Structure 1
């Protein structure tokens, strides 16, 4: 049985055990199974956890990347895109104070003036994409694994332009307060769709977005330092789950033996 198989097993004891925790809420096997099941869109908690892992890796494993790129998490993007995330509320209101607080929590302790990219995972209409504030190229790079066609109503402009400009305006203004004089304003930068692999299953956007966060370089026209095969959807899911479960940022120290048996070494075998 695989790691994912054990987490999804119909075992009442194991299903109720916490195995992943990055914030204040521990995630049990049952909660993980629901988010990683076929057709499900992983909860934003997993995206935020993934961002924490990448930030940790940049500091300890890839020090040449530390400060070069900054990762903002899904909690911040939910604040910036509050109209979508709180769409069931009568009057969802954007809070710049909440955005500034979230930004300050994510900023690394380094020379911010050397930052070349800010990467933000964004959930909109049940679909994940990545917005990259590309300071080296003075543009907003948008990495989206959805297949858009010009002739349909579901085209890139209809999806991204309005809400994308809104969240970038808000982010630029909030960043100028969180880190005064450290970053150029990017409110009016052009938004550029980056050519990236296209997902096959509608629920795979989160796993593609996580790959984009890790491997996008932003140089020139922008490229990914990895290949993503759309038909490897289940493998992407398994690799991500392994990475999150056994990463040093996972606060759950005493993992069940049924889970520990899958731990291969100190680092994720697929990511390094």
Structure 2
């Protein structure tokens, strides 16, 4: 994150790629090419060490910039974290608890 600009690198094992989400409307292809080449090797090594080298290597994955509504992505992450079945919070704050069962059904489907 730099000032109002931020990027998310999402390891996508389903499609063997690293999805790059960028909050800026400007073209940052060159920026992400340099940054991706630098950090993806380091992240891969970190994940390999943390999982005793059992995790699939992702250093050769392509890393395209995904045109995605970043606000929608952030709200999806919040939604997923709040209503996922392994969320150990017994009672959610405010009016969120009433939606847990309905949201869980949507996540499972």
Give the TM-score normalised by structure 1: 0.28
* Whole-Å separation in 1 of the counterparts to 2:33 and 2:43: 15
Deviations 1:139-177 (A, max 9, x none): 1101123102xxxxxx32232111122111101011111
The root-mean-square deviation of aligned C-alpha atoms, in Å, is 2.8
Give the TM-score normalised by structure 2: 0.62
Q: Which residue of 1 aligns with 2:61?
A: 189
C-alpha displacement of 1:138: 0.6
1:167 and 2:28 matched: no
Q: Secondary structure at the match of 1:192?
A: coil
Q: Which residue of 1 aligns with 2:73?
A: 212
Contact 1:130/1:212 (8 A) holds in 2: no
Aligned length: 86
Which structure 1 segments of 5+ residues have no match? 1-122, 149-154, 199-207, 217-247, 249-262
Q: Secondary structure at the match of 1:181?
A: coil
Q: Which residue of 1 aligns with 2:106?
A: none
Q: Which residue of 2 aligns with 1:33?
A: none
Q: Secondary structure at the match of 2:10?
A: strand
Q: Secondary structure at the match of 1:147?
A: coil
Q: Secondary structure at the match of 1:193?
A: coil
Larger Rg: 1
* Whole-Å separation in 2 of the counterparts to 1:140 and 1:268: 35
Q: Which runs of 4+ in 1 moved over 4 A?
A: none
